[in-house]
Each structure stands twice: as structure tokens, then as C-alpha cells.
Amino acid sequence: MICRNPSLRQADGAPGTLDRVTSAGTSPLPHEAVSRDELPQFVLPLVVRIERGSPPARTDALQTAARAVLALLADERSAGEGPWAEAVRDWQDARIRKVVRRARGAEWRRAEALPGITVTSAGGGEGASGDGPDAAEVRVFPPVPLDGWPRDLARLQVSGTDLDDPVPPAPPAPGVPVLWLAPGLGMTAGKAMAQAGHGAQLAWWELSDGDRAAWRAAGFPVAVRTAAPERWAGLVASGLPVVRDAGYTEIAAGSCTVVADHPALRAG
């Protein structure tokens, strides 16, 4: 489905690119007219651990990527005068790019040595898609210039992040925020991880300080599920935050990829 309703709370995104929110929510971004493309461009690196023979389940990896983005946004190092704050502000002022790469073995150990946050799934917690695959591990790093990646991250591959769910994921638990993926788009796991991160970020921007604190205290529970085709149009039109793709790769421009359904955003 192509998303065309200009009244939606939404953000534009390419593979790994999220533009500013167009509603008057709690986004930290300025809302005056400005060309994001003319500003210095930054990217948020995410690295998923995929060991040979024991990859994580796809749904587990998507949820862990979303939680990793939230962990960075909520970290005290990303705010005020924190060591990551300037980079985070510069990243959010321009196009909000996210790139997912994979690592294993020594590559993963080198990535873990760089400043960042590693988020690990419970391997059987909310949204785990079955027993068998290892728990998902995703490390998120403070934003870096688009052409200035640290060497140990720049050498990692973007391809090869295709993952599967050994069994269908269970329905989301009641009260858990859900990032609904568009049905029928056929996104690779790496692209879907970036899109899930976009959806989590939109939900974070829209929440009140109190709701953010509660979500953080709970450990950022979140489920990522593909919406049933008959429900998708209603979700897009519901007024919840929507991620819209710019169409640079994989899917058509204007496609809605994620609806961020946090219970606090439905209140009232």
C-alpha cells in the first residue's frame, strides 16, 4: 500500500533514513522550514551479531534493534552536555539515517570495544519467535558522519542479514507497544531492523516525559509484528505515528512501512 494521506503523523524514510516528524508532537527537532539535505549528514550505526550456525530469529532481531535505538535515545550520554549529545543533535537535525551491519567472532569483539550500547534479547521474552536460535544481540553506536565511519564498523558487511523465524511469532502480549510492519513489502531483515528503529523513534518522540520514563524503567518492551492485510489501512489511518519510505531501495517511494502503536498514544 502506498501512503498518501498528508494529515498523518508520519516521517519519511529511505532504507535507514527517517525525516522529521510533521506533526506538533514532542519531537526534539526544529519545525521551521529547512533543507535537511544541506546540513551535515550523520548515520546511526547498528550492528547485529550473526554467528555461523546460530543466527537469531528474525522477529527477535527486529525487536532488539528497536530497543537498541530507544536505549541510545534515552541514554544520559545522548542528552545535555553528554559526550554523545552533539552528534545525536546533528544526526536528528538532518536526515535520520540508520544502517544495520552484521558481525561475528572477532568482528563482533572489535565492535564491542567501541563506545556504544549492546542490547540483548531475552531469547524467550516478549516476541521471541521460538526456541532454537540464539538470543539476538544488537550494538548501537553514537551517530557518525556519513563518510566518517570508524574503521572497525566500516569494514562490516550490510548484506547477509537475512534471518528467518523458525516458528510464527506469538501474538503480542496485552499492553506491550507494537511496531506493525506493512504486509506484503518483503523487506530484508536488515532493512526491516532499520524501519523498526524508525518506528520506535517516532513513538519515543510522541510520548510524554512520564510515559518515556515508564517505558524505559520497564526495559523498553516492544513487539514487532506484520499487520494482517485487512488491518493495515486502519492502522495507517489511525493517527498513530507512521514511517514512510523514500523509495531508494527495495520498495516503492511513499510506501508506509511501520505504524508505531504504543498504548499511551491511544489514550484519550
Question: Does pLDDT of 257 surpass 60?
Answer: yes
Question: Does pLDDT of 10 surpass 90?
Answer: no
Of residues 158 and 178, more confidence is placed in 178
Question: Does pLDDT of 38 surpass 90?
Answer: no
Of residues 28 and 110, more confidence is placed in 110
Q: How confident is the model at residue 125 (pLDDT cuts 50, 70, 90)?
A: very low
pTM exceeds 0.85: yes
| pLDDT score of 21 | 41
Question: Does pLDDT of 126 surpass 60?
Answer: no
60/259 Cα distance (integer angstroms): 18
Question: Does pLDDT of 57 surpass 90?
Answer: yes
Dihedral in degrees, nearest 10, Cα atoms 97, 92, 9, 250: -10
8 Å CB contact between 49 and 104: yes
Q: How confident is the model at residue 263 (pLDDT cuts 50, 70, 90)?
A: very high
Q: What is the mean pLDDT of residues 116-140?
A: 72
Q: How confident is the model at residue 13 (pLDDT cuts 50, 70, 90)?
A: very low
Q: How confident is the model at residue 1 (pLDDT cuts 50, 70, 90)?
A: very low
Q: Which of 48, 164, 26, 170 is nearest to 101 (CA)?
A: 48
Of residues 200 and 12, more confidence is placed in 200
Q: Looking at 22-31, 118-127, 253-262, which range is the least confident one?
A: 22-31
| pLDDT score of 160 | 73
8 Å CB contact between 162 and 188: yes
Of residues 26 and 39, more confidence is placed in 39
Q: What is the mean pLDDT of residues 209-220?
A: 97
| pLDDT score of 143 | 96
Q: How many CB atoms lie within 10 A of CB 77?
A: 16
